[in-house]
Amino acid sequence: MTNRLDLYKTELLRWNESVNLIGPEAAANLEGHVAEALRAGEILEPRGEVLDFGTGGGLPAIPMAIMAPEARFHLVEADQKKWAFLKHIVRECRLNSVVYGDRLARVLTRFPHDLRFSLVTSRGVGNPEEWLPSLVPFMEPDGRVALFQGTSDAQLHHFRKLDAVKLERGFLVTFHVEHP
């Protein structure tokens, strides 16, 4: 696991010099961001099919995919340069992951009708109330959503809040899907 994490960090910083994958704070504190992603992985224990929406430079999804090789990660990123990096790092780290370079609405039309996610994660992508409802049909009955946020007070329609864990840079807020 350590070798793949080191490869990820090296490639992320190398690509970030020419492609804006992560901001200056994340680049300067990459060890802390990766440690936080690994801590989230310990809390969430990814299994089965996992969707990460707005994957960007891969935090937290890539470290979690490295630590949970039995889970299959579906990484959705609309930015073409970030998408290219994700394809590269998935290949180089030999991750059990699929990368979708498109908007979530279009990606949903390409998913197999029987695909069900046990976990959906996202870090700071728009208003979850706008995009999460479209994922309900793709969630397992006991599926969870984990949002990385600045506060712990989030409430979502069709989702029951399970927990809010304080991380170094904010909160990991988890919800259980409530199928209509």
Q: What is the pLDDT of residue 180?
A: 64
Q: Please report, for the chain, the start and end positions of each structural domain, with discontinuous segments joined by +.
A: 2-177
**Per residue in 54-66, pLDDT tens?**
999 999 999 999 9
What's the pTM value of the predicted model, to 2 decimals?
Answer: 0.94
Rounded to 5°, the CA angle 40-41-47 comes to 140
Give CA–CA dist 66/28, Å, rounded: 22
**Rounded Cα gap, residues 112 and 56, in angstroms:** 24
d(CA 151, CA 42): 20
Q: What is the pLDDT of residue 129?
A: 85
Q: Compute the distance between CA of residue 94 and CA of residue 8 in angstroms, rounded to an integer.
A: 11
Confidence of residue 153 (pLDDT cuts 50, 70, 90): confident
Summarised one tens digit per residue, pLDDT across range 71-121 is: 999 999 999 999 999 999 999 999 999 999 999 999 999 999 999 999 999
Instruction: Report the topology of domain 2-177.
Output: Rossmann fold (3.40.50)
The vertex-84 CA angle with 81 and 88, nearest 5°, equals 140
Residue with tokens 């099919």: 49
